[in-house]
Amino acid sequence: MLKKILKNIFTGNRTLDVKEDNVSPVQLKKKMDPVFGRSLRIRQVDAGSCNACEWECTALTNPVYDIQRYGIDLVASPRHADLLLVTGPVSRQMELALRQTLDATPEPKIVVACGDCAIDGGIYKGSYAVNKGVDSVIPVDLVIPGCPPEPGRIMEALVQMMEDIRQGRS
């Protein structure tokens, strides 16, 4: 990955090599524009993850994926977000914060559970300190499996979601 990033920086090539992924940012943008008017703002919420899922989410903005050039960005406040990308099983301490984050998010309030822990508790399942995934605390629209899911997989899931919204599927 580092080699690929450096090669792109030094050759000025900012095109994503999508061979190892199923979807490119260009495809994502085409699906996204009719729904979100050329911008998608994502608030990433760490609800008690081991941090590996955050690394993959953050990688979406590195020079390889560089989703910002397509109008997709991570934002610091839920008030500026279209979508909550939640990782982790939702620890008890994060339960109230997650609910308040959802309340602060404007419609359409799309919630994505990113990673196995966010889906059902994952490796933390059964612990007294966590919930059973995001949908045991707030409603979830989309799940992205993986431990952790790689950036290409996250993009692929977002594309599918955009397609579903555009075609009126829930």
β-strand partners of 112? 85, 142
Site mask for ligand SF4 (CB under 6 A), range 41-70, x = bound: --------xx-xx-----------------
């979830």: which residue's tokens? 140
Task: Give whichever of 78 and 88 is closer to ligand SF4, judged by the CB atom.
Answer: 88
Supply the minimum distance, in Å, between the C-beta of residue 137 and ligand SF4: 16
Q: How far apart are CA 119 and CA 103, in angstroms?
A: 21
Subset of residues 74 to 113 that bind ligand SF4, contact rule: CB under 6 A: 87-88
Confirm or reject binding of residue 122 to ligand SF4 (CB under 6 A): yes
What residue spans of 17-150 are helical by DSSP H? 25-36, 52-59, 92-104, 116-120
Considering only 21, 82, 116, 156, the residue that binds ligand SF4 (CB under 6 A) is 116
* CB-CB neighbours of 163 under 10 Å: 14
Supply the minimum distance, in Å, between the C-beta of residue 27 and ligand SF4: 25
Q: Are 74 and 43 in contact (CB under 8 A)?
A: yes
